[in-house]
């Protein structure tokens, strides 16, 4: 059975800027603290296939995988999935949506995943990890995008 997380952040910036920055995969190493490299492998219409590589963990472990994402500018949603799931996951899918609110743009991620039977963590542990790390990444994205919005307004 799939496990699920849902997290959101409100970014005080124009919707188009939030959309453009968070869908520019090549710039993700500046947008996320965890990624050292983002390499585009293929584009097919709106769909982009890419490899992400993390910064080394404290023990030197580096993670890398191929994902695919398809943004829909008309609905301001994105569907994404890992193509290479790695040693921990059988499946990982992420749904993003962006909603304009009076406070800013609400960016929400819904992550659904299935762990491999051999994973060294259970669903509860994986959910706790994803919720913790997603909040860290969303806070960083908020900071970077809001700084870009402020710089655009000042210019």
The CATH number covering residue 22 comes to: 3.30.530.20
For the chain, how many structural domains are there in total? 1
Query: In the structure, what pLDDT confidence band is assigned to residue 1 with cuts at 50, 70 and 90?
Result: low
In terms of Cα–Cα distance, which of 33, 34, 50 is closest to 42?
Answer: 50
In terms of Cα–Cα distance, which of 94, 44, 39, 93 is closest to 66?
Answer: 39
Could you write out the DSSP letters of every residue in 19-33?
A: HHHHT-GGGHHHH-S
Residue 105's region, left for phi above 0, alpha for psi from -120 to 50, else beta, is beta
Query: In the structure, what pLDDT confidence band is assigned to residue 24 with cuts at 50, 70 and 90?
Result: very high
Measured in whole angstroms, the distance separating CA 75 from the mean position of its chain's CA atoms is 18
Angstrom CA distances, 83 to 54, 89, 94, stand at 16, 11, 12
Which domain range does residue 78 map to?
A: 3-154
In terms of Cα–Cα distance, which of 102, 113, 75, 97 is closest to 22?
Answer: 97
pLDDT tens-place string over residues 59-108: 999 999 999 999 999 999 999 999 998 889 999 999 999 999 999 999 99
């Amino acid at each position: 059975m799939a496990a699920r997380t849902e997290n959101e952040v409100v970014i005080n910036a124009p919707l188009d800027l939030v959309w453009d920055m968070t869908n520019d995969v090549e710039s993700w190493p500046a947008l996320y603290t965890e990624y050292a490299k983002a390499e585009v492998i293929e584009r097919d219409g709106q769909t982009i296939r890419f490899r992400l590589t993390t910064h080394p963990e404290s023990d030197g472990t580096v993670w890398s995988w191929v994902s695919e994402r398809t943004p829909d500018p008309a609905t301001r949603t994105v569907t994404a999935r890992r193509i290479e799931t790695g040693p921990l996951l059988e499946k990982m899918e992420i749904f993003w949506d962006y909603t304009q609110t009076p406070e800013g743009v609400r960016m929400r991620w819904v992550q659904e995943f299935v762990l491999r039977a051999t994973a060294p963590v259970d669903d509860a542990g994986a959910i706790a990890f994803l919720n913790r790390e997603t909040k860290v990444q969303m806070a960083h994205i908020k900071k970077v995008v809001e700084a870009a919005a402020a710089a655009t307004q000042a210019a």
